[in-house]
Amino acid sequence: MPMIPADRLERIAGRLLVAAGASTAEAATVSRHLIAANLAGHDSHGIIHIPGYIASIQRGHIHPGAPFTIIKESRATTVVDGNWGFGFTVSERAMQLTIDKARQENVAAATVVRQGHVGRLTDYPLMAAEAGMIGLMTADSGRGPKSVAPFGGREPRLGTNPICIAVPSHLDGPFYIDIATSAVAGGKLGVAIERGQSIPAGWVIDSEGRAATDPTAARKGGAILPLGGSEGHKGYGLSAMVEILSGLLTGLGFGIEPTGRHNDGCFMAVFQVDAFRPLEEFKQEVTEFAQYLTATPPAEHVERVYYPGELEYLRTQKGRVEGIYVEDATWQKLAALANELAVNEDFSPP
């Protein structure tokens, strides 16, 4: 496949979602998040998910137009029930509410339950950073299917359980970290499968607990390993804490729900920088800190050192000019969906 312009992919994703029952506003939000992930170089969280989301709508696992319900709240906290709406729309609204409360109370937090896949966590803490605050978010799959083995184990008992923190600065691109607490995000295995690629040793084990380079191994009785390789107890411990914040604190619990329904539990917190020190001073010092890091002499075979989040920013700028690569398998699935849903879209190469 040739490179596809980002706006074309966003339009295709939006039209398919609307045809499947989403509102125009919901489809625009979901498409914006997905294509932003593609642009940042994280195809595992991009347009490859559209067929799965539409299948979830058709199974009744995602409810377009679902109400946003506040179960319990205080001046600084909120408990949200997404009523099985799109995770993107539910979590975006929950984060904005948390930002608004942090403006008044300096610190605010929220938990979110019963929502679809939230995609790449980055987008939500970045909302706080853009508002001059520090944003934090963790997520897990509640009682959804598990894919990650505890350190030393060979059977999955955890999700990939990501965590993201974003901070304000004067940098051209945002300063943040967004990582799975597993060796790899589950979606990256899906991308490797669709592209017919092998994966590095250390990502997964097969059903016998042996290292594997076949991306399908984790789906055939194997498991993804925790972050850290030989020091994987660190990623395992961090994953367990994310599970507590996103699964237990939210009330989703742990283990596997027999329905297999995807249920992203999320914890989010926002901190107003001005409550601790002047915002402009902090932003300037974060900027100088990033410059201090990137001025580090590179190791052998390394071009340069980047600050956290910089590579994604540079990839996004490049992708907006050059377009996004979409593997043939995903492109054909999108074309088949367009035919099934009577969406008049040209899927010939640009």
Ranges 13-22, 117-126, 196-205, 301-310: which has the least confidence: 196-205
pLDDT digits (tens, 9 = 90+) for 245-295: 999 999 999 988 777 788 889 999 999 999 999 999 999 999 999 999 999
Considering the domain boundaries, does residue 90 fall inside one?
Answer: yes
- How far apart CA 216 and CA 90 sit, in angstroms, is 31
Query: What's the rounded mean pLDDT across residues 25-46?
Result: 97
* pLDDT single digits (tens) 103-115: 999 999 999 999 9
Q: Is residue 220 part of a domain?
A: yes
The answer to whether 43 touches 191, Cβ cutoff 8 Å, is yes
The pLDDT of residue 1 is 66
CA distance 335 to 15: 12
Q: Which of 166, 205, 154 is nearest to 184 (CA)?
A: 205
Amino acid code (one letter) for 20: A
d(CA 142, CA 248): 8
Q: What is the pLDDT of residue 234?
A: 96
CA dist., res. 58 & res. 77, Å (int):
34
Q: Is residue 87 part of a domain?
A: yes
Percent of the chain residues past pLDDT 70, beyond the cut? 99
Residue 80 lies in a domain: yes
At residue 114, the 3 state secondary structure works out as strand
**Domain for residue 311, yes or no?**
no
pLDDT digits (tens, 9 = 90+) for 299-332: 999 999 999 999 999 999 999 999 999 999 999 9
Q: What average pLDDT does range 78-102 have in this prediction? A: 98
- Residues facing residue 20 across a β-bridge: none
At 349 the pLDDT is 66
| 217 is a domain residue | yes
Residue 255: give its domain's CATH number: 3.30.1370.60
Domain annotation covers residue 272: yes
Geometric angle at alpha carbon 203, from 197 and 207, rounded to 5°: 95
Q: In this predicted model, what pLDDT tens digit does every residue of 40-72 receive, in sequence order?
A: 999 999 999 999 999 999 999 999 999 999 999
What pLDDT is stored for residue 261 in this prediction?
80
pLDDT for the residue 191: 85
Mean pLDDT in residue range 223-251 = 95
Give per-residue pLDDT as tens, 136-154: 999 997 677 889 999 999 9
Question: Using CA atoms, how far apart are residues 13 and 29, in angstroms rounded to an integer?
Answer: 10
What pLDDT does residue 350 have?
Answer: 60
Average pLDDT over residues 93-119: 97
Sorted by sequence, the CB contacts under 8 Å of residue 74 that are 6+ apart come out as none
Element (H, E) at 192: helix 186-195
Q: Is the pLDDT of residue 185 over 90?
A: no
- In a domain? residue 304: no
Cα–Cα distance between 131 and 12 in angstroms, integer? 31
| Contact in structure between 132 and 279 (CB atoms under 8 Å) | yes
Structural domain boundaries, residue 101? 6-279+326-340
As for how many domains the chain has, the answer is 1
